């Protein structure tokens, strides 16, 4: 379960529901969208094997995590058309029409996911922002609302996904859509793929959007290594051949050792990025922030450094975190100051 372009927000466990695992389905459910009622879909299959599944251990680990996706649009959303499209697309995905249930027995602690009727209108939220705040600074007003999304409770009696529509023009978009979904419904890359599959090409509305081909990697780091010539001797050629494998084995042992030590006892020092041991208080000031970068500037640095766009973004993020740390701490000593993170990489082929 690998992901990119993913934002995860830890939620108060009392306001979220346990998660569910993603299970493929090949059966399309009937969709009912009457003119006089909200869009809704139901299932007529009463088979318990088809409508209920146990929640997997991996899904339970996602109990307090949501994915929040912010999308800037070039025009306001046509809400009736959008709702009908969501009903048509999400009806194909079992986890977007399931809720958690228990039977109340001694095994009641083992939850199951059961299919349910979905009223799409219950998942479409159109908030009203403070007019004075919007007039004074629309960008900040929208950002403040997005920052508050993770504090809003979700109804456990409904599938855990929702859309928020902010029809307020900002400096970057004519309107904003915020999509919040429980992390166990999907990982980041699957969610991106699902959103792309729900869209259509601007050039040809009858076709799915096409993903660009992977660019060819250039630069010294990607240049093929030259093997030692036969004149250098058999021993030198053997060393040149086996050396990369020895380095790989050594790095693997070091990484596994650090991973085991981190799991057992090794901890990062307490910094503004990490709470102290035993501190489980909920920080209401936690929020989303973003900064737009010029892709031309990023590519300029990439070409100058003979690296990749991802390298530039990781470097910029590292520099920003360093500046934030020293500004907050007021110190300059970097001894025993480190921050370890997990970088998930999608290894699946482009659909």
pTM of the model: 0.66
Single out the residue in 160, 176, 197 at which a domain terminates. 197
Active site residue 182: no
With respect to residue 312, please indicate whether it lies within any of the assigned structural domains: yes
Helix (H) or strand (E) holding 262: helix 234-264
Q: Which residue has the higher pLDDT, 340 or 23?
A: 340
* Residue 185 and residue 58 in one domain: yes
**Is 17 part of any domain?**
yes
Q: In the numeric block, which tokens belong to residue 178?
A: 């915020």
**127 shares its domain with 24:** yes
For residue range 22-33, list pLDDT tens digits in order.
Answer: 333 333 333 333
Model pLDDT, residue 302: 92
Do 165 and 87 belong to one domain?
Answer: yes
Q: Which residue has the tokens 């650090």?
A: 258
* 201-215, 259-273, 329-343: least confidently modelled range: 329-343
**Strands of 161-166's sheet in order across:** 8-10, 65-73, 175-182, 161-166, 124-125
Contacts of 155 (CB under 8 A, 6+ apart): 122
> Is 26 part of any domain?
yes
* Residue 320, in any domain of the structure: yes
Mean pLDDT of the chain: 76
The domain of 299 spans 267-329
153 falls within a domain: yes
Nearest alpha carbon to residue 120 among 161, 165, 78, 87: 87
User: What confidence score (pLDDT) does residue 231 get?
Assistant: 58
164, 183, 226, 290: which one is catalytic?
183
In a shared domain, residues 155 and 284: no
Paired strand residues for 115:
98
Q: 219 or 123, which is more confident?
A: 123
Residue 261 domain-assigned? no
Of 96-105, 183-192, 228-237, the range with the lowest mean pLDDT is 228-237
Are 71 and 163 in the same domain?
Answer: yes
pLDDT of residue 312: 93
- Residue that is last in its domain, among 197, 220, 245: 197
232 domain-assigned: no
Please indicate, yes or no, whether residues 161 and 289 belong to a single structural domain of this protein: no
Residues 51 and 188 in one domain: yes
Q: Which of 197, 217, 243 is the last residue of a domain?
A: 197
Number of domains in the chain: 2
Q: Do 52 and 132 belong together in one domain?
A: yes
Could you tell me if residue 259 is inside a domain? no
CATH number for the domain that contains residue 135: 3.30.559
């Amino acid at each position: 379960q690998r992901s990119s372009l993913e934002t995860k927000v830890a939620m108060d466990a009392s306001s979220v529901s346990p998660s569910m695992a993603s299970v493929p389905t090949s059966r399309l459910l009937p969709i009912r969208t009457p003119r006089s009622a909200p869009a809704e879909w139901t299932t007529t299959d009463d088979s318990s094997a088809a409508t209920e599944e146990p929640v997997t251990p991996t899904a339970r680990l996602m109990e307090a995590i949501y994915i929040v996706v912010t999308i800037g649009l070039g025009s306001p959303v046509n809400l009736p058309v959008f709702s009908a499209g969501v009903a048509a697309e999400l009806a194909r995905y079992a986890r977007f029409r399931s809720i958690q249930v228990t039977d109340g027995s001694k095994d009641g602690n083992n939850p199951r996911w059961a299919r349910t009727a979905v009223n799409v209108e219950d998942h479409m939220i159109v908030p009203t922002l403070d007019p004075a705040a919007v007039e004074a600074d629309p960008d900040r007003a929208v950002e403040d609302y997005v920052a508050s999304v993770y504090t809003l409770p979700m109804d456990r009696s409904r599938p855990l996904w929702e859309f928020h529509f902010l029809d307020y023009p900002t400096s970057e978009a004519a309107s904003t859509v915020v999509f919040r979904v429980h992390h166990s419904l999907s990982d980041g890359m699957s969610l991106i793929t699902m959103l792309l599959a729900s869209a259509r090409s601007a050039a040809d509305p009858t076709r799915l959007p096409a993903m660009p081909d992977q660019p060819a990697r250039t630069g010294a780091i990607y240049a093929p290594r030259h093997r030692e010539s036969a004149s250098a001797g058999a021993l030198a050629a053997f060393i040149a051949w086996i050396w990369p494998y020895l380095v790989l084995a050594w790095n693997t042992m070091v990484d596994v050792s650090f991973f085991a030590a981190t799991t057992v006892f090794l901890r990062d020092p307490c910094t503004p990025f990490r709470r102290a041991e035993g501190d489980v208080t909920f920080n209401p000031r936690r929020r989303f922030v973003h900064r737009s970068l010029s892709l031309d500037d990023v590519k300029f640095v990439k070409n100058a450094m003979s690296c990749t766009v991802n390298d530039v973004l990781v470097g910029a993020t590292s520099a920003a975190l360093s500046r934030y740390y020293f500004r907050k701490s007021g110190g300059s000593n970097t001894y025993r100051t480190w921050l370890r993170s997990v970088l998930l990489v999608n290894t699946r082929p482009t659909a």
